[in-house]
Structure 1
Amino acid sequence: MASGQATREPGGAPLGFIGVGTMGRPMARRLIEAGHALIVFDRDEAAVAELTAIGALAAQSVHEVADRARVVFTSLPTPAIFREVALGAGGLRDGETVKILVDLSTVGSRIEKEVAAGLRERGIETVDAPVSGGAAGATKGSLAIMAAGVGAALDEVRPLFDVLGKVFVVGDQPGQGQLLKLLNNMLSSTAFAITSEAFVAGMRGGLDPEVMMAVINAGSGKNGATLDKFPKHVLPRTFDFGFPVGSVCKDIGLAVDECQALGVPMWVGNIARQVWNHAAMQDGAARDMTELVRYVERWSSTEGLDA
């Protein structure tokens, strides 16, 4: 859609979008294609160029976005980067126009609460809205959005969520969305780790991997790994789910820390965390998370299907 056809938000301001990487870029694209004017910022010039080619405006800094957009989305990789973008010098906190931050990142509830408090001092409300569904869900507009925030801010941005997926209102305080997202990711990554071990054990015992997955998915052992990641990304040996091991380590680490802070001992979660961290330390941080299977094969002295 050409920029001249784009719909500006109340007050004539475009939407802002900071962080247009693996997840942010397809979400920003969907907003543009739905007719919204966007001003975007990312250090990756190629990612920004992909969006300006379909009508986005390119900002030169976070501060420019905050000066021009009333509603700003963030999709950022780490808690430290999120804090710097929101509260650092020249960050959102210093913007003249921004009134609502919609954070789509996975950064943990403690940082989310800190940022929300810092922004509220400047009259900026935060809608904590992490997403689940991966890059494929972001592209298709089928993400699960776990939104928490005060009513007026949440009501204003809720129609925008419809472009990205299905919204679940999980609370009225920033941080509640983050907690649920971390619990979801911890369940997902733990399921993948134990499924990898079961898969490799079955191969060592002579089972056909396709038959194994079919039987598990017809029984009580099915989970997100057996239903989706293994059939689509492991059995074909493409390992292209689109989420790196290092990001799994970040998310499960945040999840375990937050659960322990709530008084839950996390025996199983800590073990799963160690498995992922061990893979990351063996040159795996940048590899696709589905390649954990290869590490389990190596640790088990088992040849993979592509050996």
Structure 2
Amino acid sequence: MAEIQYGFVGIGNMGTPMATRLLNAGKRVCVFDPNQQAVSALVARGAIKAESAAEVANQAETIFMSLPTPEIVLSVVTGPQGVIEGTRVKHVVDFSTIGPQAAVKAAQALNARSIDYVDAPVSGGVPGARAGTLAVMVSCPSGVFAALQPILLTFGKVFHLGEGAGQAQTMKLANNLLAAAAIAVSSEAMVMGVKAGLDPKVMLEVINAGSGRNSATQDKFTRSILTGGFDFGFGTGLAYKDIRLCINEAEALGVPMVIGAAVREMLAITNAMYGAESDYTSLCRVVESWAGVEVRG
């Protein structure tokens, strides 16, 4: 039997379709996650189950991670039964959004064991993960990037942003700030129009044919807000975490973020009203509740 080529730690909303793409490409993949139901679904597709991140790192040279927070990433990397204890691992490709400071800490810990840390957050959501159309933002030494680029293309379009850990994280935080800001300001505009008597479908047609179009009006409103589903696939708690990381990094760099701070507060309110597990398109529900109207098709 062919040896295991890759490992995947973190079988969640993003990790599941990304690991599935590896399996569909004929790769042998060892997986670990505390969620046994998610792991079992991949085992049924041909994955090999591991009992810990360290066991994954004992079997695979290249490990992918998709985890929700900086604290969890650092625990999985350096904690008991963590990746760092593995005997075979050579490359750790981290798809998580954890901010530059945590990426640097993870890189330093792994580099001390002669393991490459590849800072590689992704954008495009669950639909992009399923279709292999993610934007994969990568910062790592050029030689490591050259070796891993072919497998990274399994997941989407790959961008090399620099040599050092943290640079790709900065790019991802900037991207997510723009995505969240688009939902926030588009929600205000759409709710205003609906309260004034405009048809939201027609509003979106006009906006998307004009200068106001953005990722929220072109995709999220039609798919998840007009339908009332609020199910785009990205949790409010994770979005709030990402924008807090972005604001913290901007403050550390001495960059004012007046608009970004307002977006953070809107996500904080959404998180409080609808919960961390709600979809971040629920931000529109906050504005709707204040205005007393709903934006529906």
- Answer yes or no: same fold by TM over 0.5: yes
Aligned residue among 74, 81, 84 for 1:83: 74
- Structure 2: gaps of 5 or more residues: none
Name which of 6, 16, 24 aligns with 1:25: 16
CA distance in 1, matches of 2:139, 2:211: 33
Over the residues paired in the alignment, what is the CA RMSD in angstroms?
Answer: 1.2
C-alpha distance in 2 between matches for 1:255 and 1:303:
30
| Structure 1 residue ranges (4+ consecutive) displaced by more than 2 angstroms after TM superposition | 301-306
Question: Which amino acid is the alignment partner of residue 37 of structure 1?
Answer: R
> Distance between the aligned counterparts of 2:222 and 2:60, measured in 1?
42
- Which residue is 1:293 aligned to? 284
Following superposition, the deviation at residue 282 of structure 1 comes to 1.5
**Distance between the aligned counterparts of 2:81 and 2:51, measured in 1?**
12
* Cα separation, partners in 2 of 1:303 and 1:231, compared to 1, 3 Å: closer
1:258-288 deviations in whole A, cap 9, x for unaligned?
1111111111100110011011112332111
Residue in 1 that maps onto 2:36: 45
Aligned residue runs from structure 1 range 257-296, under 5 A:
257-296=248-287
Match of 1:252 in 2: 243
1:206 is aligned, of 188, 197, 200, to: 197
Aligned to 1:71: 62
Letter in 1 for 2:16: R
Q: Please name the residue that 1:142 is paired with.
A: 133
Q: For residue 153 of structure 2, give the secondary structure of its aligned residue in structure 1.
A: helix
Residues 237 and 277 in structure 2, CA contact (< 8 A), matched pair in contact too = yes
Q: TM-score, normalised by structure 2?
A: 0.97
Deviation at 1:161, TM superposition (A): 1.0
For 2:225, the equivalent position in structure 1 comes to 234
- The one-letter code matched in structure 2 to 1:139 is R
Of 104-113 and 274-283, more deviation after overlay is shown by 274-283
Question: How far off its partner does 1:305 sit?
Answer: 3.6
| Displacement of 1:90 | 2.1
What amino acid does structure 1 have at the position aligned with 2:65? T
Q: In structure 1, how many angstroms separate the alpha carbons of the residues matched to 2:81 and 2:231?
A: 37
2:163 to 140, 160, 172: 172
Q: Which amino acid aligns with 1:69?
A: A
SS in 1 for 2:118: strand
1:68-116 CA-partner distances (Å, limit 9, x unpaired): 1111100001100000001112211121111110000111110000110
Question: How much does 1:13 deviate?
Answer: 4.1
Cα distance between partner residues in 2 of 1:21 and 1:85: 15
Aligned residues: 297
Asked whether the equivalents of residues 177 and 243 of structure 2 are also in contact (C-alpha less than 8 Å), the reply is yes
| C-alpha separation in 2, matches of 1:40 and 1:95 | 14
Q: 1:305 to 1:166 in 2, by over 3 A?
A: closer
Counterpart-to-counterpart distance in 1, 2:32 and 2:225: 34
Query: 8 Å contact 2:119–2:166 — kept in the other structure?
Result: yes
Aligned-partner residue type, residue 22 of structure 1: N
Specify which of 40, 53, 57 is matched with residue 62 of structure 1. Answer: 53
Alignment of 1:158-169 (within 5 A): 158-169=149-160
Preserved CA contact (<8 Å) 2:225 2:296? no
Please name the residue that 1:93 is paired with: 84
Q: Which amino acid aligns with 2:268?
A: N
Q: Does 1:183 align with 2:174?
A: yes
2:26 to 31, 35, 50: 35
Supply the AA of the counterpart residue of 1:248: A
